[in-house]
Chain A
């Protein structure tokens, strides 16, 4: 067997779902894990931050960074991973685009602190904790604004199949080539090119299991979303919310594309669309607000405040 390939797995502010998806390659772990020399993976191995800090620069072949970087510690770890690893992978949609936690950018950080620490149904009069804790940045900025990313592996989480493909290619030293199709390519439902007459909310009525959900009026952003998921939600009756982000080029504006897509399917007067689509920002930008055009303006606004 070839020598194990050194790997570091870092975790920013995240849910650990991407790593759970890695673990879910199941019996393939028996071939993959022995091929890896784990240099850092806080949830699995007992290496501390000072171990990672002590390694030579670029001495680790592959680094996977899960999550977005909002705390000072997250940002430190992200930069450290960049220094120590030859190839840095943005692992999952939070790491690629900011992900669902990027929705926090809809609010000012003080408003976030209010409901979390100061006043809510069970909390009252709390102060923002600060002792032995890293500071929190006022907004979620995309990881690629802090460091250069070599490979984007999106998904919330990336499927186990996708992770296995990517890791196997990396171990073999081969390029990762992924199909560029959108979710619709993998959806079993029939499209009849019929325009939407009314936008429905997902709990309304009982959907026809054989027809395109969007054409039935349920907002589904499958046609503007990278189909690396292979249509797992749409084929089980759930509309796509765009968790894999846009198809390549990966930094295109997914939210804007999704809205344009809805416009072509629902030729309704703008006032009606506005009335029927309850939460455009939270629907079309759910996983990638920080890397979108609108989201960048939001981040800019915060930077202007500082000066």
Chain B
């Protein structure tokens, strides 16, 4: 190579946000810079200002159409924290049912629709083939399995949340509607088949992991900090404290959501509208953390449910703890899918799930500052609102799942780019034959 070169990938595909990639190679063929350019922003923090704070849970979900439920719930938790409101126990169960159902359907869509085309057709296939429509054509049984699982999750959200996308039923003090017994019974009747499909997915994922072990253990292995919600060491996506783990594996912070400002660092990069989050005490870029499936599995000791915990142990035998293997995010996603299913089954079998005591009646707005944290499928999600004495929202600070991953994505892209452009490491990888050849 005689002179430098810039490679642009625009847009980055098979992700549901907005991004492009800029890679700069020097004259010597060395990778000089890798940028993940998140190229859009909509200013939710600004236009939440001036709204009655109880409206935030109805506005904020529009940040993400894949993860509107976590936004709805982080938002309502922030309002409740600011106003000192405690929802009823049944309302909390319904919220958890909704967020577990979202985790389930989102993880399934990610694995089957976004990621699987790479495994089915191989990473070097024609773009016209390397997508979920082609999977549906070539492997209809697998696709139907995925669709049934997504349907189960999305329809369950709709039942509890009124809408599967941008739900509307969580309100400061609880929920606006209870679950009808006939609806509960319908989903109970679906459990057996969905459990089987979930276990089939685990088997499929294990095959993929075995087939692509060389890729998983060699490509884009990137040590970073990790952040995730934890219920005393157990992986939890609705409630808990926030844990931060340093690259060596030690838990360096375990704090209440309201104390987040001590630990959250936010760096404005010159080339991305999405900011870069990092562990503040370690500084930037040293403290860059990652969130999402693998991060949650890293920061926690165990899963909350038996089948998922067994799956986590199996995963750790292969990748250890902490795992810095970027491709192990897929594996962790499947482990979490199992936990989401088991939580759903447990909640649907809870004798109180159809109780009608779903909302307290004496909610009063007041001046306050509240933080709500839950886990979205792509990582930890934080809403922080300030209200005046009339309950009007005067300030909002949001750190969404993606912000916790942007810097980490860029870091792992740099590792991968060096492997590809400098070491040609991809040429020596052992790859399986594609499941489908075209």
Contacts and interface: CB of A to CB of B under 8 A. Distances in A.
The answer to whether A and B assemble together is yes
Interface in A271-286: 278-279, 282-283, 286
- Tell me which of B18, B43, B147 has the highest count of chain A C-beta atoms within 10 A of its own C-beta: B43
Contact of B62 (A15, A27, A206): A15
B131 A130 contact: no
A15 B35 CA distance: 22
A116 B363 contact: no
A17 B166 contact: yes
A263 B390 CA distance: 23
Contacts of B396: 115
Contacts of B49: 115
A148 to B, nearest CB: 24
Interface string A229-244: 0001101111001010
A48 B11 contact: yes
A183 B33 CA distance: 53
Given A16-B64, A21-B165, A48-B10, A26 B151 contact: yes
Contact of A73 (B39, B50, B168): B39
Given A48-B9, A104-B43, A127-B268, A132 B20 contact: yes
Interface in A1-58: 11-21, 23-24, 26-27, 29-30, 33-34, 36, 38, 41-51
A131 B270 contact: yes
A15 B363 contact: no
B169 interface: yes
Contact of B270 (A24, A30, A44, A130): A130
A103 B44 CA distance: 9
A279 B40 contact: no
Contacts of B273: 129, 133
A210 to B, nearest CB: 13
A47 B117 CA distance: 14
Interface residues of B, number: 94
B261 interface: yes
Contact of A236 (B169, B275, B359): B169
Given A15-B65, A24-B165, A44 B133 contact: yes
Contacts of B392: 278-279
A115 B45 contact: yes
Contact of A104 (B47, B128, B133, B173): B47
Contact of B18 (A11, A23, A238): A11
Contacts of B54: 201-203
A115 B391 CA distance: 20
B46 A203 contact: no
A95 B12 CA distance: 22
A45 B133 contact: yes
Contacts of A283: 55
Interface string B62-84: 11111010000000000000000
Nearest to A49: B10
B13 interface: yes
A38 to B, nearest CB: 6
Nearest to B134: A45
B16 A34 contact: no
B131 A38 contact: yes
Contacts of B22: 132
Contacts of A115: 43, 45-46, 49, 395-396
B361 to A, nearest CB: 5
A48 B12 CA distance: 8
A237 B154 contact: no
Contacts of B271: 129, 131-133
Contacts of A99: 62
Contacts of B13: 42-48
B136 A29 contact: yes
A206 B359 contact: yes
Interface stretch (B137-145, B335-343, B416-424): B137-145
Q: How large is the interface on A (under 10, 10 to 19, 20 to 34, 35 or more residues)?
A: 35 or more
A30 B140 CA distance: 8
A46 B43 contact: no
A87 to B, nearest CB: 20
B272 interface: yes
B266 A122 contact: yes
Contacts of A134: 39
Contacts of A127: 268, 270
B127 interface: yes
- Tell me which of A49, A201, A206, A279 has the highest count of chain B C-beta atoms within 10 A of its own C-beta: A201
13 contacts: A70-B40, A99-B62, A104-B47, A115-B45, A117-B268, A122-B397, A123-B275, A129-B268, A133-B39, A233-B163, A237-B177, A279-B52, A282-B55
Interface of B: 9-18, 20, 22, 35, 37, 39-43, 45-47, 49-52, 54-55, 58-59, 62-66, 68, 109, 113-114, 127-128, 130-133, 136-137, 140, 143-144, 147-148, 150-151, 154, 158, 161-166, 168-169, 171-173, 176-177, 260-261, 264-273, 275, 359, 361, 363, 365, 384, 390-392, 395-397, 399
Given A16-B65, A121-B397, 16 more contacts: A13-B40, A13-B42, A23-B113, A26-B150, A33-B133, A74-B40, A106-B47, A115-B46, A122-B261, A122-B266, A129-B273, A157-B165, A202-B171, A202-B176, A206-B359, A238-B169
Interface of A: 11-21, 23-24, 26-27, 29-30, 33-34, 36, 38, 41-51, 70-71, 73-74, 99-101, 103-104, 106-107, 111-112, 114-117, 120-123, 126-127, 129-134, 136, 156-157, 201-207, 232-233, 235-238, 241, 243, 278-279, 282-283, 286
Closest 4 pairs between A and B when the two form their complex, measured CB to CB = A17-B65, A126-B268, A237-B176, A46-B127
